Amino acid sequence: MIAEPRGNYVIRSKQLSALVLAALVAVFAVACGGSDDSDTGSSETWKIGLEAPLTGDLAVLGDGMLKGAQQAATEINENGGLLDQDVEIVPIDDAGDPATGVTAVNKAIKAGLDGVVGPYNSGVGIETLPLYIKDGLVPIRLTSDDTTNGLGFTLQPMTYQIAPVASEAMTMWLDAKTVAIAYDETEAYTKTEAKSVRSELEKAGVDVVAYEPIKPGAKDYSAEVSKLAATNADVVYLVTYFPEGGLMAKEMSDTSVKSQCLADYGAYDTGFIDTAGIKAAEACPVVGVPAPGDFQDAAKYVDTFNEEFDQEPGTWSPYTYDSVRFLADGVDAAGGFDSARLTDELNKVDGWTGWTGEVTINPENGTREPGTVAIVSTQPEGTFKVDSDWASAVGAPFGD
């Protein structure tokens, strides 16, 4: 039943999923959870952690995430705060590594958190998200591997939403009959995504002529690219994060590989362009989400970001910005950070709007429906933009 709007939410009655209920059982197993003062309002600020790879190979991605969260906190504070208190963003650096993440998260929890946004890497989130939930927090995650479904909430797409879009792009847009897949064999997301895309392609009648694991961290992938090129596949699909994807796209361009290059969602970041170079990046579109300026009414958010940080938003800045605002509006509706009341409010979200557009939560898994997956292309000035040819070919709701 639809009820009256409450803040930026439209509240409707739905049952909690089994996964969410299981999470709540874990929550109730601890005394109060979160910061000692999270519902009394006696602390000076609400502390919201931002877990991201703030150092390491993915640091450029993490920097954009942190600044997006800080932008949201600044705006909340300038407009009276959250439940009469300011919001403070607490950086939690997991370096994109599970062990580092666990150490950093345990330290942050011990110091006191009221809420959390992140992490980004699924392999990290598999380890750290349960720690937040055990402490009575409700994570607003940015992981995409389906194994993290139900561990809090997310505004960004999951594997089950990404893989069909990637497959459709290769078949309906790039007209692929044969595809060679290279994937990072060490990461939860890339392994699941590669398997899912392969399944989608095979169901569409595409011949997957290579399915090659790679190890991240190398400085040269010429041997791997040569092996993929030898298949003469219509498309080479790179299921890696951006350091490796950028290097492989550059190698494909430098050696004039005839196959079309398409990079997976994990590579979606301006770091991909920096690593590949403009020429190679232009020749290798990326499965991602709309760029920060592509969303409807995005100009006001981009302008504010530029004014605050004197730089362009990172690729994930809109999602961490929205995640903080989404969490804050849920806390406002729930009257505090109590996990049961907050989970109930967030499960009912239908039509909340932010930088990344309209959000409706599927209470079965805490995921936004539908996912905001898009194919983006590199522009001559070194920025991403939704590929209008792709959007026209597949009838996507993004693009010019």
Per DSSP (E only), the strands in 279-356 are 286-288, 350-354
Residue 42: pLDDT band with limits 50, 70, 90 = very low
Residues 139 and 199 in one domain: no
Residue 29 reports pLDDT greater than 70: no
**Cα-based torsion angle of the residue sequence 390, 283, 162, 302 in order, rounded to the nearest 10 degrees:** -80
Let me know whether 238 and 101 are in one domain: no
Element of type H or E holding 42:
none
Per-residue pLDDT tens over the stretch 215-264 = 999 999 999 999 999 999 999 999 999 999 999 999 999 999 999 999 99
DSSP readout, 74-130?
Answer: HHHHHTT-BTTBEEEEEEEE-TT-HHHHHHHHHHHHHH--SEEE----HHHHHHHHH
Same domain, 19 and 95: yes
Given a cut of 80, whether residue 18 has pLDDT beyond it is no
Question: What confidence category does residue 399 fall into, taking pLDDT thresholds of 50, 70 and 90?
Answer: low
**Domains in the chain: how many in total?**
2
pLDDT for the residue numbered 400: 57
Judged by DSSP in three states, 378 sits in strand
| Phi/psi-derived region of residue 399, left when phi > 0, alpha when psi is between -120 and 50, beta in every other case | left
Contact present, 192 and 159 (Cβ < 8 Å): yes
pLDDT, position 20? 40
**Which residues have a Cβ under 8 Å from the Cβ of 198 and sit 6 or more positions away?**
181, 208, 211
Cα(226)–Cα(5) distance, integer angstroms: 57
On whether both 208 and 324 belong to a single domain, the answer is no
**Is 145's pLDDT higher than 60?**
yes
Are residue 200 and residue 233 in the same domain, yes or no?
Answer: yes
What is the pLDDT, as a whole number, of residue 44? 86
Asked if residue 312 lies in contact with residue 302, where contact means CB atoms within 8 angstroms, the answer is yes
Examine the domain organization and report whether 216 and 312 are in the same domain: no
Banded model confidence at residue 43, pLDDT cuts 50, 70, 90: low
CA 337/CA 49 separation, integer angstroms = 13
CA 293, CA 313: separation in Å to the nearest integer? Answer: 9
pTM metric for this prediction: 0.88
**110-135 tens-digit pLDDT:** 999 999 999 999 999 999 999 999 99
Beta strand pairing call for 9-12 and 2-6: antiparallel
Residue 22 is part of which domain span?
2-157+294-368
- Whether residue 187 contacts residue 123, with contact meaning beta carbons closer than 8 Å, is answered with yes
Whether residue 136 lies inside any domain: the answer is: yes
Give pLDDT, residue 30: 38
Sheet holding 178-184, edge to edge: 207-214, 178-184, 235-239, 260-263, 286-288, 374-378, 384-386
Helix 339-347 to helix 18-28 angle (10° resolution) is 160
- Least confident piece of the model among 3-17, 92-106, 352-366: 3-17
Residue 21 has pLDDT above 50, yes or no: no
Same domain, 91 and 29: yes
> Is 163 a residue whose pLDDT tops 60?
yes
Residue 48: is its pLDDT beyond 90?
yes
Q: Is residue 400 domain-resident?
A: no
> Which of these, 286, 342, 288, 349, lies nearest to 322 by C-alpha position?
349
pLDDT bucket at 4, cuts 50 / 70 / 90:
very low
The answer to whether residue 85 sits within a structural domain is yes
Same domain, 212 and 301: no
Evaluate whether 295 touches 356 at the Cβ level (below 8 Å).
yes
Measure the CA–CA gap between 213 and 236, rounded to whole angstroms.
13
Q: Any idea what the CATH number is for the domain that residue 241 is in?
A: 3.40.50.2300
Give the number of other Cβ atoms within 10 Å of residue 394's Cβ: 15
Whether residues 22 and 165 fall in one domain? no
Rounded distance between C-alpha atoms, residue 64 and residue 53, angstroms? 10
Strand-pairing partners, residue 261, are 236
- pLDDT at 332 exceeding the cut of 70: yes
Query: Over the stretch 268-311, which tens digit does the pLDDT of each residue have?
Result: 999 999 999 999 999 999 999 999 999 999 999 999 999 999 99
